[in-house]
Structure 1
Amino acid sequence: MSFKHHHQHYNFFLTSQKMAVKNTVFSILFGLAILGLAHINTINALSSNYYDQTCPNVESTITSVVKKAMMNDRTVPAALLRMHFHDCFIRGCDGSVLLNSTGKNKAEKDGPPNISLHAFYVIDNAKKAVEALCPKTVSCADILALAARDAVTLSGGPTWNVPKGRKDGRVSKATETRQLPGPTFNISQLQQSFAQRGLSTNDLVALSGGHTLGFAHCSSFQNRLHNFASKQSVDPSLQSSFAAKLQRVCPAGNTVKNAGSNLDSTPTTFDNRYYKLLLQGKSIFSSDQSLLTLANTKAMVTKFANSKQEFEKAFVNSMIKMSSINGGQEVRLDCRVVN
């Protein structure tokens, strides 16, 4: 159910008797919760001043933890931003990506697309610091959302007020990571994936700019380098010398562990270089290249390549929109375990 349709239904129910409204809305909410889509209903429950009274120093506390981790490992910002995306795209931003697998259940973090996620210790350290400050108050989902914002800001990107008040989820299933948009997706698959989460094509192009930070393993872009099509070994949309460089790093049948490529030429700086390189045929993923296959998405890529300011403004708006999807139930005491 889209946001638009949900609100149309909701407005219709408001015209009924109060008791009927309560019963009907409850059944809708309950039904959506069963489907794992309860996050749609709590999008307006978040507030930028949620912890002003209960934990006023929460943001500065998290920022200092992220800053310290960055000093030891420059890959931390990219890791935190990716972790937040992967959390929000499964069951909403409910910290389910942080949960450990148990004997009975294989959790999201052990699903194939998430095996390369790292820097969970940063969230653990932030949680420990926040618990010392304000026990049982701040959710792991909020800590991750704030840490992702800090990752962007501390890497030279924009800052913004993160809406807060998310609750942590109790369900995390590795099988559900199949819902994550993949690096080989075409534009229609990407649009469908984002639309299912109430995100537009504009959000898709803006949030793809997160690929300005980080590194990709060969397995996620091998499809463009070898046996691309029956008559072409290499994806023709790749600039030839760039393709040759990637082939040297990732030869056919590559067995070198952790071989791969940076996502752009400034992988620890949050800038608009990703879009500039995309227009030059120097993107890494098929999903990146697919942004050039429609006139409207290509126009946005061009706009962001020409203006860091326009990109940052759109990225912030889309991040707030994406990170406001939530469907959790509790404030976890340990981010890796349900209460």
Structure 2
Amino acid sequence: MVHKPVSYFTISPFFLICFLPSQLDYRFYDRSCPNLQMVDRYNVWQAYKNDTRIAASLLRLHFHDCIVDGCEGSVHLDDTLDFKEEKNAPPNRNSARWFKVIDSIKADLERFCPSTVSCADISTLAGESVGLEAHTALFPYAGEMDWQQSEQAVLNQLPSPIEPSENITAKFVSKGLDIKDVVVLSGAHTVGFARGFTFSGRPFNFKGSGNPDPSLNPSFLSNLQNACPGGVSASKLRPLDSVTTYRFDNVYYKNLMNNTGLLESDQALMTDSRMAALVNFYSMNPMAFSYDFAASMAKSLGMSVFLLFKLGKLGEDV
């Protein structure tokens, strides 16, 4: 199997200074665990060599953790008799490979610096190690304790691949983000794959009409139908960006301009004039997308961070 290269996710420290709470510090582990980044990147790249989808998966995992109740690692908690946790909720199913990478990093770190690094920070660093191409090194913030409780009920805060843009926007806004952040962070779909159940209705039976989604580019529609002549299998994988599948770039926005977005929620960005204008802008300005994605990621990583004001604990079982 040929493994396509993916660029390191590098963000200027300037972006992070602009958005992150002052209590969090990207130098937090410099003395207590100086091998942290080396261990993290080694494990991420080992995982990537075996599964090229891991890059997008780790970004998605970290976003799912952050957007629910802040970047506090609750997505890693296992079910108990009293609580059904985020880890096994529908949006995070089929995600065992994500958690195995975090488990591997945690196990290695316990040998170098036991009971030191929180699972929340490991997840942040894993997300930093895969992603977007830029020219400066990321110094991710750290110092988050792990929250000891999560609930599946809060997962309705996660955007669905079949939701209209106004619903998705409302969820982002409720977390302190805005329309620009919706469009920019949706650009993470320039890498990764979607399972068939997330787009199965579009090629054949859109919203129960018996017809394809009329917004689909005819050539793209034909491609989808030919790839799945008997209907789309719920487990079938399809690249979110079939043009530059393994490269983090702005082609995602070009796809939307051409009506070749795979997910209904992605193509729905073009139904809002304000979002469509941003899609058009990023489709022509790759550097602006890189800059703004870094800023929006930093903004989302810092939202709802309450761990330093509550009794947290370093996770021992992720």
**TM category, shorter:** 0.7 to 0.9
SS of corresponding position for 1:45: coil
CA RMSD of superposed structures (Å): 2.1
Counterpart contact for 2:201–2:207, Cα < 8 Å:
no
Residue aligning to 1:262: 239
* TM-aligned CA distance change 1:279 to 1:94, over 3 Å: same
Q: What corresponds to 2:106 in structure 1?
A: 127
SS in 2 for 1:152: coil
In 1, the alpha carbon distance for the partners of 2:86 and 2:258 equals 35
1:1-339 pair list within 5 angstroms = 43-117=21-95, 118-153=97-132, 156=133, 159-228=137-206, 233-250=211-228, 254=232, 256=233, 258-265=235-242, 266-325=244-303, 326-328=305-307, 329-336=311-318
Q: Which residue in the other structure is 2:4 paired with?
A: none
Q: Which of 56-65 and 69-78 deviates more? A: 56-65
> How far apart, CA to CA, are the structure 2 residues paired with 1:172 and 1:253?
37
Maintained 8 Å contact 2:215/2:259: yes
Relative to structure 1, the CA distance from residue 249 to residue 110 in structure 2 (aligned partners, 3 Å threshold; closer, same or farther) is farther
2-side partners of 1:291 and 1:334: how far apart?
Answer: 40
Task: Indicate conservation of the 8 Å contact 2:41/2:126, yes or no.
Answer: yes
Q: TM-score, normalised by structure 2?
A: 0.85
CA–CA distance in structure 2, aligned partners of residues 240 and 264 of structure 1: 17
Size of the alignment, in residue pairs? 292
- Worse-superposed segment, 320-329 or 278-287: 320-329
Residues 148 and 313 of structure 2 are in contact (CA less than 8 Å); yes or no, is this contact kept in structure 1? no
Give the unaligned 5+ runs of structure 2. 1-19
Structure 1 spans left out of the alignment, 5+ residues? 1-41
TM-superposition CA deviations, 1:47-89 (whole Å, max 9, x none)? 2222223223312221111111111111111110110111112
Provide closer, same or farther for how the CA distance between residues 91 and 304 of structure 1 changes in structure 2, counting only shifts above 3 A. Answer: same
Determine if contact 2:225/2:231 at 8 Å carries over to the other structure: no
- Relative to structure 1, the CA distance from residue 260 to residue 69 in structure 2 (aligned partners, 3 Å threshold; closer, same or farther) is closer
Contact 1:183-1:286 within 8 A present in 2 as well: yes
> What percent identity do the matched residue pairs reach?
37
Residues 191, 200 of structure 1: 8 Å contact kept: yes
